[in-house]
Each structure stands twice: as C-alpha cells, then as structure tokens.
C-alpha cells in the first residue's frame, strides 16, 4: 500500500522494538509471547495516539489550523498526546473532558491530568458523562472561529480514517520486523477502544495479504457493538486506501469478557496483569487499556486459545501515566 500519498509528520524516529518476553512466557507455559513496544513511541510518554497524530496533525497544518481541539475521558492518554503534538507544532490546544464516572475529575489529579497542566493546555472544559462530545467540540470550534481563530477538531481517540492510517503503517512496520527477525506470528492481540488501532491494523494486515488473525480486547463496548464500530471504520479506511483485498466482517475478532463494570473501572484481572508484567518483565501496562487487554490475552492462553509452539504478539499501546492516578488499586487490588 502506498501510504506516502498521505501527508505525515514524524514524531518517532525509529521503529518501536518487538521484544520477546522470556519470563512471562515461562510463567504462562504456553505460546512464545512477544510485545510491540508502542508505549515507546515519541511525544510525551508515547502510546498509540502518537501514530495517529502523525497523520492528523499533518492534515491540521495543511488546513492552516492555529488551535487543536479534542476530547477524551478525565485521564485521557489521547488528550495528553494531542496536546503534546500541538506543543511540538507550535499550536494552541484546548481539551473537553467527559466525566464518564461521576465525580472522577479532580483538577489537581496526578497522571495524565497533571501532564495536561505541565504541557500548558490553553483551556479544559469538563462535561457530564454521556454528553454529545462531537457537538461539544463543534460548538467550541464555532466560538473560536467567531474570534478569528482557526480551530481543527481531532475526534475522540483520533479514530477517523486519517488517524487510523497510523496503524496501517504500524502493520507494515510489524511485517518488516517479522521478516528482519525471521519470526512468523500466529496471532496478534490489541486493545480495542475507539477502534482506530484495531481498524488500522486489520487493514494493514489484510491489505498486505498477511492473514494473521488479529484479536481485539474491548475496553468498553460489548462484542457486537465493538465489532460493528471496528468494521465500519475498517471499511471506510479500505475505501480511502483503495485496497483490493478488503476487510471482511469475519476478520474482526472481539472479546468483551475483560471490560468488568465499565470503561476505566478497575478489575482484579487487570491488577494481576499490571503486577505480573511489572514483576516478570519490568514493563508497565496501564489500568484502562493495556492492563485489561493483557488480562484477556493471559486468560486466552490459559484457555488454550493460543498454544505452545505458537508465536503471539501483544501490541502495547501505552498509557502508563494513568497508573499514577490508580496507585492504590494497582498495588492493593480490589477490596
Ligand atoms: C486510546 C488507547 C487505546 C485504544 O486505542 P483505540 O484506537 O482508541 O481503539 C489503547 N491503549 C491506550 C493506552 C490508549 O490510550
């Protein structure tokens, strides 16, 4: 696929490493476990939004934007990285935070919230859970336009067809690394949220005729809804790319068994996964996305879904700053 046809900024000057996890592999006594270290991407503390922002910010700059607007949850990694990209490009950035869990916004909270402030966010507006975030963003954009400014709206999670190009690029990077390292992966596992990562990866894999099954672990929606969200974005992305090999509904694999009580709400299996990765491989997975996705992968290994002798790749999409807003539960578990 020719991704060079799309304007792109660069925020990471290397391919993120694919590492073998010998200690975790030994503990699980199942497949050989590898990890794609997208937590080491560029911009402030890395993570998957960096890849999406390479394409989104190029579009914003092409449109002459002076202010970037986006939205997310109160501990949003996406908001942190969008703000970081805006800082890099010399643009202003305003955030709208959705208080999905009532009472969860604290202006002096640690984690990503602290980083919003140290990175010099221009303004933060907090709205109630369930608000129409697109309408909120568009309204803010209109206000700024009436003041003569040039806002650019990045959708939640950066998950439109422009942002998802970042994960088409990631699939191609993985393909190169497989060839370089001489490893054939039997399965790839990713967290699945606003779906740009999942939809981008599946387009990159299928579009390049690389039929490695991709398993998405949902962090909020149920299986059917999440499958539809991923599929719809994947189809639109396929049209943008003009791929002959298009993604089919059956290509979208989603598990919704690891969400727990809801988005961003801790589960004991997440806590166990955070501690296990830290204590076997010194890798930090996060409480909201990669901790739950890792819990899913470990459970699927135990259930024999991924077998001894196979090579599996977990896509580490980042998020470790959020741990600092979840210190008690990740250390002491659910009481
Ligand atoms: C946003 C995010 C995800 C989910 O990616 P989507 O493209 O929104 O599905 C996973 N992990 C982390 C750390 C994130 O911040």
Burial state string for 151-177 with b = 16 or more CB within 10 A and e = fewer than 16: bbbbbbbbbbbbbbbbbbbbbbbbbeb
Helix (H, G, I), strand (E, B) or coil at 94: strand
In a shared domain, residues 217 and 173: yes
pLDDT at 335 over 90: no
User: According to the model, what pLDDT value does residue 95 have?
Assistant: 98
User: According to the model, what pLDDT value does residue 1 have?
Assistant: 85
pLDDT at 214 over 90: yes
In a shared domain, residues 192 and 143: no
What would the pLDDT profile of 232-281 be if each residue is shown by its tens digit? 999 999 999 998 889 999 999 999 999 999 999 999 999 999 999 999 99
In a shared domain, residues 138 and 53: yes
In a shared domain, residues 165 and 175: yes
- 179 near 228, Cβ under 8 Å? no
- 73 near 264, Cβ under 8 Å? yes
User: According to the model, what pLDDT value does residue 244 have?
Assistant: 85
Structure tokens at 3: 């991704």
C-beta atoms surrounding 22 within 10 Å: 12
Structurally, how many domains does the chain consist of? 2
Query: Residue 291: pLDDT band by 50, 70, 90 thresholds?
Result: very high
What is the best residue among 47, 81, 100, 314 to mutate for testing ligand 1's pocket, by most ligand atoms within 8 Å of CB? Answer: 47
Listed residues 158, 182, 205: the one ending a domain: 158
What is the best residue among 49, 81, 321 to mutate for testing ligand 1's pocket, by most ligand atoms within 8 Å of CB? Answer: 49
User: According to the model, what pLDDT value does residue 251 have?
Assistant: 98
Of 280, 201, 291, 210, whose CA–CA distance to 245 is shortest? 210
In a shared domain, residues 42 and 53: no
CATH code for position 150:
3.40.50.1100
What is the best residue among 319, 323, 324, 326 to mutate for testing ligand 1's pocket, by most ligand atoms within 8 Å of CB? Answer: 319
Listed residues 115, 143, 158: the one ending a domain: 158
In a shared domain, residues 197 and 94: no
Burial state string for 42-58 with b = 16 or more CB within 10 A and e = fewer than 16: bbbbbbbbbbbbbbbbb
Listed residues 137, 158, 179: the one ending a domain: 158
In a shared domain, residues 73 and 165: no
Query: Residue 313: pLDDT band by 50, 70, 90 thresholds?
Result: very high
pLDDT at 213 over 90: yes
**Active-site entry in 13, 76, 194, 220:** 76
What would the pLDDT profile of 46-99 be if each residue is shown by its tens digit? 999 999 999 999 999 999 999 999 999 999 999 999 999 999 999 999 999 999
293-298: average pLDDT: 98
Sheet holding 187-192, edge to edge: 18-20, 32-36, 311-315, 187-192, 214-218, 253-255
Measured in Å, residue 233 CA sits from the centre of ligand 1 at 15
pLDDT at 210 over 90: yes
Measured in Å, residue 46 CA sits from the centre of ligand 1 at 12
User: According to the model, what pLDDT value does residue 228 have?
Assistant: 98
* Residues near 95 by beta carbon (within 8 Å), at least 6 away in sequence: 69, 70, 71, 72, 76, 79, 82, 83, 116, 121, 123, 124, 125
pLDDT at 196 over 90: yes
Chain centroid to Cα 331, Å, comes to: 24
296-302: average pLDDT: 98
Atom of ligand 1 nearest to the CA of 286: 13
Pocket of ligand 1 from Cβ distances under 6 Å: 47-48, 77-78, 157, 159, 191-198, 286, 289-290, 317-319
User: According to the model, what pLDDT value does residue 58 have?
Assistant: 98
Atom of ligand 1 nearest to the CA of 190: 10
Atom of ligand 1 nearest to the CA of 193: 9
Catalytic status, residue 104: no
What would the pLDDT profile of 124-148 be if each residue is shown by its tens digit? 999 999 999 999 999 999 999 999 9
In a shared domain, residues 257 and 128: no
Structure tokens at 228: 């539809």
In a shared domain, residues 64 and 190: no
In a shared domain, residues 103 and 185: no
In total, the chain counts a number of residues equal to: 335
In a shared domain, residues 289 and 187: yes
Give the position of tokens 């879904």.
305
Averaged confidence pLDDT in the chain: 97
Domain that holds residue 204: 3-47+161-332
Measured in Å, residue 316 CA sits from the centre of ligand 1 at 10
Measured in Å, residue 141 CA sits from the centre of ligand 1 at 24
User: According to the model, what pLDDT value does residue 191 have?
Assistant: 98
In a shared domain, residues 198 and 102: no
User: According to the model, what pLDDT value does residue 66 have?
Assistant: 98
Measured in Å, residue 148 CA sits from the centre of ligand 1 at 33
């Amino acid at each position: 696929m020719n991704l060079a046809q799309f304007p792109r900024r660069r925020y990471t000057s290397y391919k993120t490493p694919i590492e073998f996890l010998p200690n975790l592999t030994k503990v699980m006594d199942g497949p050989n476990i590898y990890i794609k270290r997208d937590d080491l991407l560029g911009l402030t503390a890395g993570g998957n939004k960096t890849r999406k922002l390479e394409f989104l910010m190029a579009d914003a700059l092409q449109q002459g934007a002076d202010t970037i607007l986006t939205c997310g949850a109160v501990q949003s990694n996406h908001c942190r990285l969008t703000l970081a990209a805006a800082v890099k490009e010399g643009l202003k950035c305003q955030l709208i935070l959705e208080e999905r869990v009532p009472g969860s916004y604290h202006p002096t909270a640690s984690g990503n919230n602290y980083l919003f402030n140290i990175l010099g966010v221009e303004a933060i507006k907090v709205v109630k859970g369930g608000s129409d975030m697109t309408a909120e963003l568009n309204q803010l954009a209109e206000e700024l336009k009436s003041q003569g400014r040039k806002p650019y709206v990045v959708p939640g999670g950066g998950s439109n067809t422009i942002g998802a190009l970042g994960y088409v690029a990631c699939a191609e990077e993985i393909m190169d690394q497989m060839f370089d390292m001489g490893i054939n992966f039997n399965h790839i596992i990713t967290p699945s949220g606003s779906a740009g990562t999942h939809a981008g990866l599946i387009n990159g894999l299928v579009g390049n005729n690389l039929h490695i099954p991709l398993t998405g672990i949902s962090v909020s929606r149920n299986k059917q809804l999440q499958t539809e969200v991923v599929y719809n974005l994947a189809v639109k992305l396929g049209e943008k790319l003009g791929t002959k090999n298009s993604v089919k509904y059956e290509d979208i694999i989603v598990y919704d068994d690891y969400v727990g009580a809801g988005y961003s709400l801790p589960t004991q299996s997440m806590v166990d996964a955070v501690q296990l990765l830290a204590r076997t491989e010194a890798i930090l997975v996060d409480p909201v996305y990669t901790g739950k996705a890792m819990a899913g992968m470990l459970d699927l290994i135990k259930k024999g879904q991924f077998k001894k002798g196979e090579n599996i790749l977990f896509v580490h999409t980042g998020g470790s700053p959020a741990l600092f807003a979840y210190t008690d539960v990740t250390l002491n578990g659910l009481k």
